Structure 1
């Protein structure tokens, strides 16, 4: 019996299984970034300071307006096929003020659609809504570290670029 096809098949399965476990845990580099973008439809960036992040609307990695200007060690992960995003940053001298959701009742976003190695477990009970930007975020503060996420749900009272009220976010059921 010729065992060569079995050996090749076993080696292929081994390489694919190793890659599936190892690639998500490798540090960012062109290969892992490409795989995350093409396969998982996710992109990540790290900025040393808020000034290093892109400015305002239309940019995938632009910070929400409520992030203090002296924030540092900023990590952002975005879903490239939608508006879901995770943000982590360290507070500087400027404290993060209280939530601003005066325009209406915040929507229940259900839960995060993205994950990252730098996101801690068990933040759900600490999260509070933050609605000052176009998108409603859920924010948890642990000491000087701030964790925020959105699934792309517009903030209550948010307006589109033409000034009309934003339509509620259509959540996909997966």
Structure 2
């Protein structure tokens, strides 16, 4: 009995290599879908991200919420632009829980942008909010009465609002709908 061994013809080898290569490309593409989808979602939202925490401590533990937010602040929400400096934050609490180094806005300590990097100056920043959030009252940043570093802070009842200005050189993209987080 004779055993015949055959090998694939030369014309089938390139086709086999093509199928293997396409399969590898498909697997790579599928594994990257999360990253691609996140990038598209971020772009469609005007390069913004939102967050929400039950307490200030939870948000600070995740290194998302500013350190001046009291640990016992409740219902902490925020939105920020990933391509710039602007941030909006709100929480339930009061101005009484702010650190001692926060200062009241006055003629001697006016409400101005306080750059924390490079050679930027106050004139390099806008003074009004460009981010959209359903929970942010129109022109709330202009009603700020306290500054904590670069943050402009105000309170209305039990709601505390905080804002950091955006640089004038950052392109403001259209946001489809106000963030509801």
TM range (shorter): 0.5 to 0.7
Alignment partners' CA distance in 1, 2:147 and 2:134: 23
Which one has more relative contact order, counting CA pairs under 8 Å at least 6 apart?
Answer: 2
Whether 1:100 and 2:103 are equivalent positions in the alignment is yes
1:110-129 to structure 2, matched below 5 A, reads 110-129=127-146
Q: Quote how far apart the aligned CAs of 1:112 are.
A: 1.0
Partner of 1:151: 165
C-alpha displacement at 1:88, in angstroms?
0.4
TM-score by length of 2: 0.53
After TM superposition, which residue ranges in structure 1, 4 or more long, deviate above 3 angstroms?
33-36, 96-99
* Distance verdict in 2 for CA 1:69–1:173, change over 3 Å: closer
What count of residue pairs does the alignment treat as equivalent?
A: 118
> Is the 8 Å Cα contact of residues 53 and 76 (structure 2) preserved in structure 1?
yes
What is the correspondence of 1:1-174 to structure 2 with a 5 Å cutoff?
A: 36-39=41-44, 40-55=46-61, 59=63, 61=64, 63-91=65-93, 95-97=96-98, 99-100=102-103, 107-108=112-113, 109-132=126-149, 136-151=150-165, 171-172=168-169
Structure 1, gaps ≥5 residues long: 1-32, 153-169
Cα RMSD after superposing both structures? 3.3
Deviation at 1:101, TM superposition (A): 7.0
Do the aligned partners of 1:45 and 1:75 also contact (CA within 8 Å) in 2?
yes
Decide whether the 8 Å contact of 1:86 with 1:147 is kept in 2: yes
CA distance in 2, matches of 1:53, 1:34: 23
Distance 2:155 2:86 in 1: 19
Give the conservation status (yes or no) of the 8 Å contact 1:79–1:85. yes
TM-score relative to the length of structure 1? 0.54
Residue 143 of structure 1 deviates from its aligned partner by: 0.9
